[in-house]
Structure formats: structure tokens, C-alpha cells
Amino acid sequence: DTEVTQTPKHLVMGMTNKKSLKCEQHMGHRAMYWYKQKAKKPPELMFVYSYEKLSINESVPSRFSPECPNSSLLNLHLHALQPEDSALYLCASSLGTSGNNEQFFGPGTRLTVL
Amino acid sequence: GQSLEQPSEVTAVEGAIVQINCTYQTSGFYGLSWYQQHDGGAPTFLSYNALDGLEETGRFSSFLSRSDSYGYLLLQELQMKDSASYFCAVIVPGGKLIFGQGTTLQVKP
């Protein structure tokens, strides 16, 4: 299994809703990432988990809350989002966080906040 | 600060060769990666250079000069399906990928 899966593919939510994005990989990777990508822009790193511990938080607002229940799963909990948070949310994984570690990206969740 | 510069758009015809350049200025450097992203899709890894020189993978090659903080992606025998955005990205300590703004490649018949 050489892929990263993400659910849901699309999500529409109101500003008062609580929702979660899910990401899964079975490649034995120990590093997992959340990125946010706006149209015509590069992915922007949000969080890095290494061995199930949060190692990098790129000053992301607290309305985004990551969780890594085990080495194969990564969640992103969303609460009280703003319309400007509408974007493609990408999950990625890699063997580790040092040196050359090719990051495999999932297909993304396209989020629309109304 | 951390910055990567690459052209915003490149146009070429089928069968041609195109080179996408990338210059970078980052705190720390493990290597330079290239990703392809089609509209509506996810980034797909193309190549990685940690040492100076040319790496070849089929129709795609990637080059790195660490002393010049410069690299490029070379696409040969262009096909229509190569129309996509191409991102250079530097891997820095901690596993962070710093992306360039992306180059939109349009391949014309």
C-alpha cells in the first residue's frame, strides 16, 4: 500500500460547525503533515507529527486542532472556522523528518466554509 | 527569511524540451525536491537532489548546484499530459518542505 488516503473529499461547513478531517497511511511512515493550499498557491505547512508527537506548529490558529491517535492516522479537528479558511487541506507522510524523506501527499479535502 | 524563486509560467509545444529554474535562500538545506500538481489534484513527487549534479528519471531530469543555491527541472519530449504546475521545494531541518510559488507549464499541440 503506497498511498495516503483522506476523507472526506469535499466538506461544506458553517462557521459554527465542528468537523474533522481524516488521513490514513499504511506505509510505516513515522512523520505526518497537514498542509493548507489556496488556489494557484503552493501548499503551506500547518503541522508536523513525528513518531506521533507534534513537532512543528506553524503558528496555526487554535480553531484548527491536530490529533495523531496512532502512527497510521492523523486527524484535523475544525471548529469556528472563517470563510477565509476555505482551501484544499492536504495530508502527507514520510519515513521520517531528517534528510531526504520524500513526502507522499493524499488527494486532499476541499473545504468550503460558509 | 526563506524564499524560493521560480518562473510563474512557461509555455512550450509537444515534443519540445523545457527547463524550469529555481533559486533558493533558506535557513538550513537538506536538498531540493520537485513536485508536479495537476489542476484539482495533489502534489506528486518527481525528484530529489541532495548533492550537486544531474539526476535523471525517464523524461525528467533535475539538477542542483549548492554553491549557487540553484536548481532546475528539465522536461524532455513534452506531452500534453505534462501541462501542470511544478513546484520546487527545499527540505530544511525538522522535515519542513519550503515550496516555491510554482510554475504553470502549458504544453501546446
pLDDT at site A1:
63
Q: How far apart are CA A1 and CA A3, in angstroms?
A: 6
pLDDT in tens, A24-45: 999 999 999 999 999 989 999 9
Q: Does B95 sit within 8 Å of A107, measured CB to CB?
A: no
Q: Looking at beta carbons, which residues of chain B come within 8 Å of A106? A: 42
pLDDT at site B81:
97
Contacts of B81 (CB under 8 A, 6+ apart): none
Based on C-alpha coordinates, what's the Rg of chain A? 13
Closest-CA distance, B15 to chain A, in angstroms, reads: 26
pLDDT beneath 50, residues of chain B? none
Indicate left, alpha or beta for A84 from its phi (over 0: left) and psi (-120 to 50: alpha): alpha
| Residue owning grid cell 535562500 | B25
Average pLDDT over chain A reads 93
Omega before residue A8 within 30° of 0, cis = yes
Closest-CA distance, B46 to chain A, in angstroms, reads: 10
Q: How far apart are CA A25 and CA B44, in angstroms?
A: 16
pLDDT at site B95:
78
CB B89 within 8 A of CB B34: yes
* DSSP calls for A30-79: -EEEEEEE-TTS--EEEEEEETTEEEEE-S--TTEEEEEEETTEEEEEEE
Q: Looking at beta carbons, which residues of chain B come within 8 Å of A105? A: 42-44
pLDDT in tens, B19-31: 999 999 998 898 9
